[in-house]
Amino acid sequence: MAQQLAPDYLIGLAREFGTPLYVYHAEKIREQYEKLTSAFRNSNTIFFYACKALTNVNILKYIHSLGANVDCSSINEVRLALFAGFSPDRILYTSNGIAFGEIEEAKELGVIINIDSLSNLEKFGAKFGHSYPVGIRLRPNILAGGNLKISTGHDKSKFGIPVDQADLVLAIVQKYNMHISDLHIHTGSEIKDVDVFVKGIEVLFDIVPKFSELEFIDLGGGFKVPYKDGDVETDIELLARKIEAAFSSHPNPGGRPLQVWFEPGKFLVSESGLFITQVNVLKETSAATFVSVDSGFNHLIRPMFYDAYHRIVNLSNPHGDPKRYSVVGNICETDTFAWDRMIHEVREGDFLAFYNAGAYGFEMSSNFNSRFKPAEVMVRDGKAHLIRKRDVFEDLLRNQILL
C-alpha cells in the first residue's frame, strides 16, 4: 500500500508552495492501477484512464509510464494525451454531442473514436465508409451511479445512442459498409455494484452478433472509491470474476475473443489527491461555527455541485478536541464544503486537508471571483515537484482585449 503522506509533511508542502494547494501522490495512482491489472491478469482486458478527472500532463505522463491507455472527452484532451506521449492507438476519444468537425480532427490524429449519435454516425459512414474502424457509444437504459447528476446510462440520459435504436444503427452501418470495431457503454460514476457492469454486458450481447468485425467491448468507467469512513470501493476482484464468467457463457460470434475495455477516472486518481487550504477566519454564530478557508467552490466544486462528501482533516491540530464546524469558502456565494462536521479543534491559520481531491478537483476549478487557480504538486518517489504554478494577476487579464 502506498504510504499516506504524513500531516507534518503536508504542512511543509503548504508552507513551501502556499495554499490553496492540490497535492497528488503518484504511488497511490500506481497502487490503484495495479489493483486493476492484477484482478484482470487472466483476461484480455485493458484500461483507458478517463483523463477528464485530472489532465495535468505530468499525471498523464505518469499514467502512461504505468502502461495504461487514455480515454478523452474532448479534442483538446486528445491533444494533451498526444503531448504526454500516448501513441494514437492508445488514445480513445469517447465523444458526446460534438460537432462532426471535431470527429474529423480526431480521425486525422489517428485515435480511436466512439460515436454517440445517429447523426454523426451517418456523417462518418458517408465520409469514411469502411476505411476507418470506429466504435459506437450506446445508452444501455440502466440506472446506476452515485447520484442522478453522475448517472449517464439511464433511459432519460443524453449520452449515447439508445440501445432500443439498434435497428437504426445497423441500417446506417450497412448502408455505408462501416467497420465497427467496438461497442461502448458508460452507465455512471461511483458504481459499487459490480452487477451493473454484468447487466451492461447482457444488454450488449443481444446485439454483438450483428457486428461482424467487432473486436472490443468498452464498459466505460465509474468504479467507486471510498470517500467517507465505512465506504467501500468497487470490488475489482469480484468484478473480474463476474466479467470473465459473463464472457465465457456468451460464445463470441465467429469465435474471435473480444477484448474488454474499461475507462476508470476516479478509481485511479481520486484518492491520490489532497487539497490543502488555510483557515482565514473562525466565526461563532447561533447556527454554526463557521470555518472560512482560503478557497471556495471555485477550486473544489464537488460539495456544492453534487453534495459530495470530502473528508476534512486538521493537519495543524490532529490531536485537538473534535468540535462541530461548518467549513465554508471565501467567495461571494454560499460555498459550503462541509456542514456540521466533527473536526479536531480548528484555529485561525490552521491547515485543513480535503481528501479524495485528485479526481474532478482542480479539473473543475475556475477563476470565479477573479481568484487565482491553485498550484499543483506531485509527490513521487518521496520528492515533491511543482507541476503547475499558482495563477498570477496577469493570468486574469490574459486573453482580454483592451479597447
Residue positions annotated with a catalytic role: 332
CB of 114 to ligand LLP, least distance (A): 8
CB of 72 to ligand LLP, least distance (A): 10
Tell me whether residue 263 or residue 335 sits nearer to ligand LLP (CB atom). 263
Strand partners, 399: none
Type of residue numbered 329? G
Q: Footprint of ligand LLP on this chain (CB under 6 A)?
A: 50, 53, 71, 94, 150, 152, 186, 189, 220-223, 263-267, 302, 306, 359-360
Strand partners, 277: 352
CA 141, CA 156: separation in Å to the nearest integer? 8
Tell me whether residue 13 or residue 146 sits nearer to ligand LLP (CB atom). 146
Tell me whether residue 112 or residue 346 sits nearer to ligand LLP (CB atom). 112
CB of 385 to ligand LLP, least distance (A): 24
Question: How large is the greatest C-alpha to C-alpha distance in the chain, in angstroms?
Answer: 71
Q: Indicate the residue whose CB is closest to ligand LLP.
A: 265
Residue keyed to cell 483476461: 43
CA 292, CA 347: separation in Å to the nearest integer? 11
- Which grid cell sits at 352? 485543513
Tell me whether residue 86 or residue 360 sits nearer to ligand LLP (CB atom). 360
Tell me whether residue 52 or residue 344 sits nearer to ligand LLP (CB atom). 52
Tell me whether residue 273 or residue 351 sits nearer to ligand LLP (CB atom). 273
CB of 53 to ligand LLP, least distance (A): 5
CB of 359 to ligand LLP, least distance (A): 6
Tell me whether residue 173 or residue 268 sits nearer to ligand LLP (CB atom). 268
Q: Residue 232: is it exposed, middle or buried by C-beta count within 10 angstroms (0-12/13-18/19+)?
A: exposed
Residue keyed to cell 439498434: 166
CB of 232 to ligand LLP, least distance (A): 15
CB of 40 to ligand LLP, least distance (A): 16
CA distance to 45, 166, 214, 393, per residue, from 205 (Å): 17, 12, 12, 55
CB distance 62 to 91 below 8 Å = no
Beta-sheet pairing, 134-139 with 161-162: parallel
